[in-house]
Amino acid sequence: MSLYALVDCNNFYASCERVFAPSLIGRPVVVLSNNDGCVIARSDEAKAVGVPMGAPLHEYEALMKKNGVAIFSSNYALYGDMSARVMRSLNHFTPDVEIYSIDEAFLGLSGFDEAILPDHMQRMRRAIRQWTGIPVSVGIAPTKTLAKLANRIAKKYTSDGVYMMTDPDLMPRILGDIEVEEIWGISKRWGARLRQLGIGTALQLQRASPRQVRQALSVIGERIVHELNGHSCLTIEEVQPKQSIMSSRSFGKMVSDCTSLEEAVASYTARAAEKLRRQDSRAGGLYVFLRTNRFRKDDPQYSNAAMVGFDEATSDTATLIRAAVTCIRQLYRPGFRYHKTGVMLTDLTTRDGGQMSLLNTDPNRDETRHAQDQRMAVLDHINSKMGQGTLFHATEGLTTPSKMNPEHGRFGRRIQGHDRWRMRAQFKSPAYTTRWSDLVLVKV
């Protein structure tokens, strides 16, 4: 029998913070969304004292203070690097790894002896904990859908963090206790449709007619029925390049001047371009949006977007920034207080797969593109080695050496006035693993 495992990092963001601050172990921990708005991650201790997911900080700050909750701003540089370490560790235990999200991965276990799998997964859990400091739970089952459910059981109801769902005699009791909306792939809307058909639990869905479910939902619903019956319809997939790349943030404070918007959109474009080159792609188009805060009813409201297409797909940051800044100048209207802007790179192609323009008669165009690629390779190499923002485009904003901000690279960025568009991150922890200046100091 072919088996799959779902590996899920326990309370991942909170666990990342605890790796480098062991004093937080056993203490309630929460992580906030962008601009320190609301709770997006909680430790088990934070759940126990009554902090709900999505809780606005300003409404629950007194409760958190009363219960000694440690509060952190989102530190995506840290979380992304710790995730990469966990995912690399998984490859030591099976060659078939599908990264599903920042804290989850499916493993293909074909060829493994079923009798020794639990012990093998236990060794994997201990190794990941030792190598990265991150605790994980493992669910094993004949299909990916059942593996998700097995992982839920492993996390909530086992002491060793591993659960293997292969006993057919136990399956009815397990699935009978699971609400249909808790199944991977079933949304609340789909759950409501199924309940109209008298299907309210995973067991009822398992025993339902695949054709009836397909008519009520789609072919995806039919596949879920087959998966619940142990027939695998979803194999381990290789990570595919993204078809579009988005970079956007809400501003730390409301912004009214065009210069700040230009800096923000240039910075977001530079980050998107880095991701573009990382997956070895080029962009054929660029989309920019700008909006005010629709929740501020007393402020005049405005939102707009612009799109530009390139004659030849590009991954050159300077080219992309010029296009983005041109768009933001077209979109800008004085008299408004802006809340958010963002950039999306579209029409992505492989690095060598983009079509050249018939209208480009430059005899040196191949050399020009090669020179651009070399400049970007140098830029990415230095920023990877010395820290993000060590080299950057001046359009992103400048600062003098006396006002360097280590958050924005070795040489800093302009922070007087124009730093208003940067996100609030009052409780942000250091970038322990990605910035030399933030390395943990051990006193002996």
Q: Which pLDDT band, with edges at 50, 70 and 90, does 360 fall under?
A: low
Question: Rg of the chain's alpha carbons, rounded to an integer?
Answer: 25
Q: What is the largest CA-CA distance in the chain?
A: 72
**CA atoms of 140 and 94, how far apart (whole Å):** 14
Residues 194 and 200: beta-carbon distance below 8 Å: yes
Determine the pLDDT at residue 359: 55
Read off the pLDDT of residues 228-286 as tens digits, 9 standing for 90 and up.
999 988 776 655 667 789 888 888 788 999 999 999 999 999 999 999 999 899 999 99
Residues 393 and 383: beta-carbon distance below 8 Å: no
Determine the pLDDT at residue 415: 42
Instruction: Look over the chain and give the mean of its residue pLDDT values, rounded to a whole number.
Output: 87
Structure tokens at 99: 């990264």
**CA atoms of 201 and 223, how far apart (whole Å):** 16
Contacts of 108-113 with C-beta under 8 Å, sequence gap 24+, read 108/2, 108/4, 108/235, 108/236, 109/2, 109/3, 109/4, 109/5, 109/140, 110/2, 110/3, 112/3
Q: Number of C-alpha atoms within 13 angstroms, CB side, residue 106?
A: 21
Length of the chain: 444
Determine the pLDDT at residue 240: 61
Determine the pLDDT at residue 358: 54
For residues 56-67, give the mean pLDDT.
92
Read off the pLDDT of residues 94-127 as tens digits, 9 standing for 90 and up.
888 998 888 999 999 988 888 899 999 999 999 9
CATH number of 4-163: 3.30.70.270
Read off the pLDDT of residues 412-423 as tens digits, 9 standing for 90 and up.
444 434 456 666
What's the pTM value of the predicted model, to 2 decimals? Answer: 0.71
Residue with the larger pLDDT of the pair 219 and 408: 219
Q: Is the dihedral of CA 396, 399, 401, 404 positive or negative?
A: negative
Determine the pLDDT at residue 406: 46
Domain ranges of the chain: 4-163, 167-228, 245-421
Structure tokens at 299: 């402020």
Within 10 Å of residue 176's Cβ, how many Cβ atoms?
12
Read off the pLDDT of residues 333-343 as tens digits, 9 standing for 90 and up.
999 999 999 99
Q: Is the pLDDT of residue 410 over 50?
A: no
Determine the pLDDT at residue 409: 46
Residues 151 and 138: beta-carbon distance below 8 Å: yes
Residues 158 and 164: beta-carbon distance below 8 Å: no
CATH number of 167-228: 1.10.150.20
Q: Is the pLDDT of residue 353 over 90?
A: no
Determine the pLDDT at residue 364: 67
Same fold across 4-163 and 167-228: no
Cα–Cα nearest to 221, from 209, 235, 236: 209
Determine the pLDDT at residue 416: 39
Determine the pLDDT at residue 357: 55
Q: Specify the CATH class of 245-421 in words.
A: alpha beta
Residues 107 and 91: beta-carbon distance below 8 Å: no
